[in-house]
Amino acid sequence: MIIAIDGHSSCGKSTIARALARRLNISYVDSGAMYRAVALFCLKKGIDPMDPVHVVQALPGIHLKILPSLPVRIELNGEDVTDEIRNPEVSKWVSEVAAISEVRREMVRLQREFGHNNSLVMDGRDIGSVVFPEADFKFFVTAEPEIRARRRYRELQEKGIQVDYDEILSNLLHRDHLDSTRSDSPLVQTKEAILIDTSHLGFEEQLQLVLQYIQKS
């Protein structure tokens, strides 16, 4: 079984996806983490994320491993980078890296390989539209930008990362724009995808809503 969950940044889709995977006892893959790991690699090596030629040249040296445990861990060239890929510098540049077709092609290949051998919930931007167009279930998750920014702000503060709310909001709007307007695999709600707006729903309500759709069919 493949469940595709796409949607905007910081709308809570990873939290729903993780909980769903746990509830259904299947794997969870956070595809955004893979793009983040590529961005992190570039930043560490001094490769400009805005320079597609050098990013693409770096690809053969990037080896990603998704450890399908819950909570999910991701390794970049043998090093656990699960926490590091969440830092604001990576968030700032990841959309640029994710807009490069060669990067997408490689990530999609890895994602499909994973889905070939496992029942899973995968979240991202193009999972229902490109990676698994034949997914058994497709959800499109969103929430109002200010609500998403506030949630993200609180999350980072709780982790002790000092951030500015306005900067988070503008970064989020910028990423929405890049993700939805890029030419390769832009974020879209496919016609089969069920819309879940989490703006005014608590986590348990969101999960129940998604589970209802799955159990109904």
The H-or-E segment that residue 198 falls in is none
Q: Give the one residue of 27, 31, 171, 198 binding ligand DC; rule: CB under 6 A.
A: 31
Answer for which of 172, 179, 196, 210 binds ligand DC (CB under 6 A) is 179
For ligand DC, the closer CB: 158 or 212:
158
Sequence-distant contacts of 116-120: CB under 8 A, at least 24 apart: 118/26, 118/27, 118/68, 119/1, 119/2, 119/24, 119/26, 119/27, 120/1, 120/2, 120/3, 120/21, 120/26, 120/27, 120/28, 120/29, 120/68
Contacting range for ligand DC; rule: CB under 6 A; set: 41-49, 50-58, 120-128, 139-147: 120-128
Q: Please identify, among the stretches 29-37, 44-52, 147-155, 156-164, the one whose residues bind ligand DC according to the rule CB under 6 A.
A: 29-37
95 binds ligand DC (CB under 6 A): yes
Per rule CB under 6 A, is residue 98 in the interface with ligand DC? yes
How far apart (Å, rounded) are the C-alpha atoms in residues 196 and 206?
8
> What residues make contact with ligand DC under the rule CB under 6 A?
9, 31-32, 35-36, 94-95, 98, 124-127, 175, 179
